[in-house]
Structures are given as C-alpha cells and as structure tokens.
Amino acid sequence: MLRAALPALALAFGIAVPGTAALAQKAEKPSLTLGVGGKPLLYYLPLTIAERKGYFKDEGLDVTINDFGGGAKSLQALIGGSIDVVTGAYEHTIRMQAKGQDIVSVIELGRFPGIVLVVRKDKAATYKSVADLKGAKIGVTAPGSSTNFFVDFLLAKQGLKPDDVSFIGVGGGASAVAQMKRGEIDAMANLDPVITKLESDGDVSVLADTRTEEGNQKIFGGTNPAAVLYLKRDFVTENPVTTQKLVNAFYRSLKWLATASPEDVAKVVPEDYLLGDRALYLAAVKASQPIYSRTGVIPESGMKNALNMLVEFDPELKSAKIDLSKTFDGRFVAKSAETIK
C-alpha cells in the first residue's frame, strides 16, 4: 500500500521521483538479459552503477547481465536472439545498418571512446608511431570490437590495412595486463583500468589516447560516441515501457557519475574490479571521468565522426547509404530528462 502511494504523495508535495511516469506502467518484459563485452572496464561503468545501486530494480526490472569477451560477441548474441539488449559501442548500429540489420541506440553512455593505444616499453624505439606498427601483434578486447575498429582507423590514416598487423583478443581485465607484461603482444588497444595499470607499472608508452576532449579533437575532430544501450528496433516497438525503464536506469547512472568522486565509485563496484590496487583504480577512474555522457544524447556531429571513422577502413561502408537518424532514438532519454531531476 505504502509503496503504491509513494509516487502520488511525492507528486502532491512536488518531490521528483525517478521514472515516476514509467513506474506507473508495467514493463512488457520485466525480466530480460543484457549483453556486455568486458563489464569491469570503465567504458561500461554506467552499467555497473545501474546494477549495483539498484536502478534496474527501482524500475521494476530483473536484468541478467551476460559478460562476453568483447563487444563483437555481445552483438552476435543480440542478432542470434540469446540476449535482449546490449551495452556496447555505438559503431555497431552503423555497421549493422549496412548489413540490413535494424539496430538502434537509445541512450549515449560515453561521449568519448576512452580507448588508448599503447606499445610495450621495450618496443617503443621500434614502434614510435602508428605508422611503424606494420607487422606488429596488437591486442584488442576482441576481434571486431570497438578497440579493433579504433586501431583499424588509426592504421588507415597512415595508409596501412588491418591485415598489415596481427590482432589478438586479450579481453579487458587482468588477462590483458598479463599478456602485455609477458611480452605476448607488441601493442594493445584497451581501456581503463587496464591502461592505467600498465602505465603506472611503467610497462607501456602511449601512441593514441581518447580519454580526453583534446585527444578526441586530435584523432576524430570532435566527440565520438562510445558506449550506448542498443537494441533491435523490433524490441523497442514491442516493448516501449521496458525500453523507457532501461533508459531511466542508465540516465540515473549518468546523473550519479556527474558528481561522484573516484572514491564514491570504488565503494560501489565489486572488489575484483580494483585489480588488487585501490589507489590505481582511483587514478583510473579520475582519468576516465571525462568520457561519460553529460546528457545521454548523441549529437549529430558525434554520429558523423563515428561514420567517418568507419568509412576510413571499412570498404562495405564506403558504398553503403547510411541514415544516421536511424541509429539513435532520442525519445526515451528526452522523457528521462523530464522526469529525473
């Protein structure tokens, strides 16, 4: 009784209740499965915040999270129908449109990719720039993932092709750190806290860094949307209330992250995310704080930058007619912004 009366009481006294309108409606699919590729990565921190702070439960959702080895595997699971939604890279919505798959993002979680390309310190004299990477063994979270696309783009800008290097899937956690330390790869594109760990230990030199506005301007010419929540358009059409509730939960995460300190974040995430070094994790969070979206809205300029990046190295996209307006449905985040203060 009391729980049911809370929204009405809150409205009567002018108190903002997150997702009040959506809470009044029942989700068409209250139990669903979400895919992600490397959940401990700070790239996906808004997901962990939504999960750990109970934002999904507040919306009446029971979300099972499947953590895959990389974003490409999450996408495959979505296309195959074994999961319902994905927290993954925006680029996949563009690439799937070219393949005739109608995949749409509904909230931007990252406005910068946060991906960093590094080389082993003992190889820094050989690989002084991206142009020198021909023949190198390069670690990525998974082949076909956003980290892979990032390297493909940098190579293309230097006149190199993807097959001029060897890509090796290393994941996004302790295994990635270990493979770099063991000398199994020459270079790696990965994210925090992996990158900050390797930098702190003096194992790597940075070639390209997208964690800052300056870095993105230099590499892409502006913002480049990173992590988003994306779904099949059929799911959005058939489950609009469920979609709104998911967006509400993620929007609350972004609002929380906008004012949270690294210490606040460390208190919320699982202990194993700290990689055994709390101080290092705090440094990684601080380094990655600029990457998170402020509004949840993907700007048109960001969509264009993402497409331009993909066209640089993907022959299929050079000839494809891409309608960027179909890659992002902003109705849900606009509603979240109205109801969540």
- Count the neighbouring beta carbons within 10 Å of the beta carbon of residue 32: 21
Q: Which domain holds residue 48?
A: 2-112+224-339
Same domain, 254 and 329: yes
Same domain, 11 and 72: yes
Name residues whose C-beta falls within 8 Å of residue 213's C-beta, 6 or more positions apart in sequence.
112, 223, 290
Phi, psi of 295 (to 5 degrees): -125, -20
Average pLDDT rounded to a whole number, residues 75-98: 96
Same domain, 237 and 321: yes
Name residues whose C-beta falls within 8 Å of residue 291's C-beta, 6 or more positions apart in sequence.
42, 43, 110, 111, 112, 113, 114, 210, 211, 226
Nearest to 78 by CA among 31, 34, 27, 144: 34
Entry pTM: 0.86
In this prediction, residue 341 has a pLDDT band, given cuts at 50, 70 and 90, of confident
pLDDT tens digits for 100-111? 999 999 999 999
In this structure, what DSSP letter does residue 332 have? H
Nearest to 139 by CA among 175, 114, 113, 105: 175
pLDDT(40) > 70: yes
Start-to-end C-alpha separation, the chain:
25
In this prediction, residue 197 has a pLDDT band, given cuts at 50, 70 and 90, of very high
pLDDT(150) > 80: yes
Same domain, 122 and 105: no
> pLDDT > 90: what percent of the chain?
82
Same domain, 101 and 123: no
Tell me the sheet residues that pair with 119: 187, 205
Average pLDDT rounded to a whole number, residues 121-132: 96
d(CA 303, CA 313): 17
Q: Which residue has the higher pLDDT, 277 or 246?
A: 246
Name residues whose C-beta falls within 8 Å of residue 29's C-beta, 6 or more positions apart in sequence.
84, 239, 242
Q: Where does the chain have alpha helices with state H?
A: 2-12, 20-23, 45-52, 55-58, 71-80, 91-98, 146-157, 174-181, 194-200, 213-220, 233-238, 240-259, 262-268, 278-288, 300-313, 315-318, 331-339
Per-residue pLDDT, 160:
96
pLDDT(3) > 90: no
Q: ω before 30 within 30° of 0 (cis)?
A: no
Domains of the chain: total = 2
Same domain, 127 and 91: no
Domain assignment of residue 52, yes or no: yes
CA 184 distance to own-chain centroid: 26
CATH number for the domain harbouring residue 30: 3.40.190.10
Per-residue pLDDT, 70:
80
Whether residue 55 contacts residue 249, with contact meaning beta carbons closer than 8 Å, is answered with yes
Domain assignment of residue 214, yes or no: no
Q: Given 209, 232, 248, which residue is the final one in a domain?
A: 209
- DSSP states of 252-296 as a string? HHHHHHHH--HHHHHHHS-GGGGTT-HHHHHHHHHHHGGGB-SSS
How many alpha carbons lie under 13 Å from residue 212 in its C-beta half-sphere? 8
Same domain, 12 and 62: yes
pLDDT(34) > 50: yes
d(CA 220, CA 216): 5
pLDDT tens digits for 48-62? 999 999 999 999 999
